[in-house]
Amino acid sequence: MSNVTKAKALMAKITYQLRPPETTTMAPCKNCGRSSPGGQSCADCLCTELETLIKNKGAVVRWSKSAKAAAEDEALILTYARRS
């Protein structure tokens, strides 16, 4: 599997893990023990794995912040949609 394919897979997993807790079951991360959707590896552990893969922590930090902001914005919009 190429590094690009691995990076895409990790990014998809990270995005999935950024969902709001109320949309899924939460359980301890299988790596660090922190709360994580579905008890899979948490976004932080997956980001560390991605950092190691691409050897660039700054890029992962910047991307994960924007992905988290997008997930939070989506949750906020859906909250307002439910209210209207």
Give, for all 84 residues of the chain, the pLDDT tens digit: 899 999 999 999 999 998 877 778 889 999 999 999 888 999 999 999 999 999 999 999 999 999 999 999 998 999 999 999
What total number of domains does the chain contain? 1
Q: Which domain holds residue 27?
A: 3-83
pLDDT at 68: 93
Collect contacts of 16-21 with beta carbons under 8 A, ≥24 apart: 17/41, 17/42, 17/43, 17/46, 18/43, 18/67, 18/68, 18/71, 19/71, 20/71, 20/75
The pTM for the full model equals 0.87
